[in-house]
Amino acid sequence: MTKSFDEEIRSAARHLDERTARAEQAYAVLEKEGQALKRADVQYRCPNRRGCILATVYRTSEGVLIHTNPYKFSPSVNTQSSNESGRARSTVDGDRHWKARTFFLDQGMNIQVTCDHLTARVRTNKQIEQDLKARKKVVIIHG
């Protein structure tokens, strides 16, 4: 007997959730051990002299792991670039303090990086793969 389409979808969604949970756990271990930055294969930083760390990328046996740091938008940018349901889901305060995210590259999301000096730059999966391949340790994202 084959699974119904609904069952397939549910099982795929569950699998994705579990994979995200594993990505989050793996990153939490690195962070707890103070290795999050040291072990990063690629660090994305902003061009400001403060060099904010926007995202870090790790090669793992399960795939390429990505962590994007939390950030806040100014009120006007926040209103322009998000909607209420997105804010409810992905911010810590339901407003403009956006959560950190951790996931595997193959989960299909390009990353968006932001800090006080840079607003919402996108790094595509393809660019991330190229950065890894070129063994760049630090990549500055320009505004």
Interface positions with Zn ion (CB under 5 A): 46, 48, 52, 115, 117
Indicate the residue among 53 and 66 with the shorter CB distance to Zn ion.
53
Indicate the residue among 51 and 63 with the shorter CB distance to Zn ion.
51
Q: Give the nearest distance from C-beta 142 to Zn ion in angstroms.
A: 11
Q: Give the nearest distance from C-beta 95 to Zn ion in angstroms.
A: 20
Q: How far apart are CA 123 and CA 105, in angstroms?
A: 11
Q: Give the nearest distance from C-beta 129 to Zn ion in angstroms.
A: 24
Indicate the residue among 71 and 104 with the shorter CB distance to Zn ion.
71
Q: Give the nearest distance from C-beta 101 to Zn ion in angstroms.
A: 18
Which segments within the chain are labelled E, that is strand? Answer: 42-45, 53-60, 63-68, 71-72, 97-98, 101-104, 111-115, 118-123, 138-140
Indicate the residue among 49 and 126 with the shorter CB distance to Zn ion.
49
Question: Do 71 and 53 contact (CB within 8 A), yes or no?
Answer: no
Token pair 């994705």 is found at 16
The two tokens of residue 38 are 């040291």
